[in-house]
């Protein structure tokens, strides 16, 4: 799975798994553009993801997200942090695998909960959940999304999630 001079890397995984963080780290290290798909959708739609969900609904958001995903791929090389649900709609996972390297950043549910607790208000799918409900929600979502996530080219879990191991796998 050797990367060309123009890598196209799609980071997938649950909300709170660190996709945006690793996008910044990898794009810096690989000297290429780094994008956050949610941010691109917000800029294009001129409103927050929360506002899109409340005013236009999830279906509208998923369509906008899929369009933006395909727009980004017009770039030669990039690292893209996708939304947690991105791989599950519009054959996006198949499309990402065809156009680049998909990396599943698979953090444990308890880590996701700790990371997400302080930022629930910014995340429309979890903003009204208690911590117990958050655990149930994330566990259920992960089970729903696993069939899509498991189609990734690289799967990293726990201690494997670090810059050194990601770069080694990209150059394998």
Q: Please give the backbone phi and psi of residue 2, each rounded to the nearest 5 degrees, phi first.
A: -70, 135
- pLDDT means over runs of 10, the chain (172 residues): 67 97 96 95 95 94 95 88 96 96 97 93 89 95 98 95 93 72
Residue ranges and CATH numbers for the domains of the chain are 8-170 (3.40.50.300)
Dump pLDDT digits (tens) for 112-134.
999 999 988 888 889 999 989 99
C-alpha distances in Å from residue 20, one per residue of 48, 54, 81: 16, 23, 5
């Amino acid at each position: 799975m050797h990367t060309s001079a123009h890598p196209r890397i799609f980071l997938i995984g649950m909300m709170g798994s660190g996709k945006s963080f690793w996008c910044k780290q990898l794009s810096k290290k690989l000297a290429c553009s780094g994008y956050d798909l949610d941010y691109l959708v917000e800029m294009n739609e001129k409103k927050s993801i929360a506002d899109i969900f409340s005013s236009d609904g999830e279906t509208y958001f998923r369509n906008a997200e899929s369009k933006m995903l395909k727009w980004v791929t017009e770039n030669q090389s990039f690292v893209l942090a996708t939304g947690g649900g991105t791989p599950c709609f519009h054959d996006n996972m198949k499309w990402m695998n065809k156009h680049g390297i998909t990396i599943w950043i698979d953090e444990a549910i308890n880590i996701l909960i700790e990371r997400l607790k302080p930022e629930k208000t910014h995340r429309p799918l979890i903003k009204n959940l208690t911590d117990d409900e958050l655990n149930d929600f994330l566990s259920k979502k992960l089970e729903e999304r696993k069939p899509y996530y498991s189609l990734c080219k690289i799967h990293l879990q726990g201690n494997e999630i670090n810059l050194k191991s990601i770069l080694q796998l990209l150059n394998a």
